[in-house]
Amino acid sequence: MRTLAHKVSGIWATVNGAILFYTRIPLPHRWPAKFARIALIVPWVGVGLGVLLSGLDRLMGTLGLSLELGSALVVLTGVWLTGGLHLDGAMDTGDGLAVQDDQQRLVAMADSRTGAFGVMVGVAILLLKTIAFAGITHHRWFALISATAWGRWGQQWAIGRYAYLKPEGKGAFHKQAIPSCWQALPAALGLVGLTGIAMTLGWIRWPSGLMAVGLGLGHAYVLAGWLNRRIGGHTGDTYGAMVEWGEVAVLVGLAAVN
């Protein structure tokens, strides 16, 4: 019994740590929080965020807001809920990719000042998300949950598959938690299974389910590999880029088959 209670307590502390690290959602100070293994559950944090954003989207519809305005508010709320953590990483990655000198690329990414290319990347991400989500008229809840979950699974894949370039930093303990891409497999199977159940029960259309799974897996493989070739590995910033561009890919794909 003590062993089971200890395991449950450890899982609870890890969930709390993931919420505190990846979101702005406050928790009571007395609640325990562990951060060492939060990368293992980050796709499920995405599921939770997707559920919250789905509730907000439903509220926007109840209030009679247009799809365009409601979609913009949902996307911006997503940025607020995460504290811009992943968007900042995507923008820093954009600045780094704009540098031609390989030796200076990581320096540019670590610079707290955002360059012109980083700003353009941020604007492009927000515009694509908003326009794509506004184009989804059916099962919008599925689009949000799929985007936030698969985007974060892409981060898991990048962590496990490729080397981490900095000996220290926020991403270092992520690599320790996921030393191999095999550690990303359980979450992928879980997301595929849940999508399959939703399709079988008729909650979503088959084309939408297959598109979400295909882009969720595909974007991770393609984008993580491309960033690895361009930068020579991954950093906390590229992990953020994986999340943001993964969300864009899933939303754009679902808009195309909606």
Convert the pLDDT of each residue in 51-70 to its tens digit. Answer: 999 999 999 999 999 999 99
Convert the pLDDT of each residue in 133-171 to its tens digit. Answer: 999 999 999 999 999 999 999 999 999 999 998 766 667
pLDDT at 169: 67
Binning pLDDT at 50, 70 and 90, where does residue 104 land? confident
pTM assigned to the model: 0.94
pLDDT at 240: 95
Determine contact, residues 155/239, Cβ cutoff 8 Å: yes
Q: Residue 194: is its pLDDT beyond 90?
A: yes
DSSP annotation string for 116-158: HHHHHHHHHHHHHHHHHHHT--S-HHHHHHHHHHHHHHHHHHH
pLDDT at 4: 62
Determine contact, residues 45/14, Cβ cutoff 8 Å: no
Q: Residue 211: is its pLDDT beyond 60?
A: yes
Q: Which residues pair with 234 in a beta bridge?
A: 164
pLDDT at 9: 77
- Specify the long-range contacts of residues 22-27, CB closer than 8 Å, at least 24 apart: 22/82, 22/85, 23/49, 23/81, 23/82, 23/83, 24/80, 24/81, 24/82, 24/83, 25/81
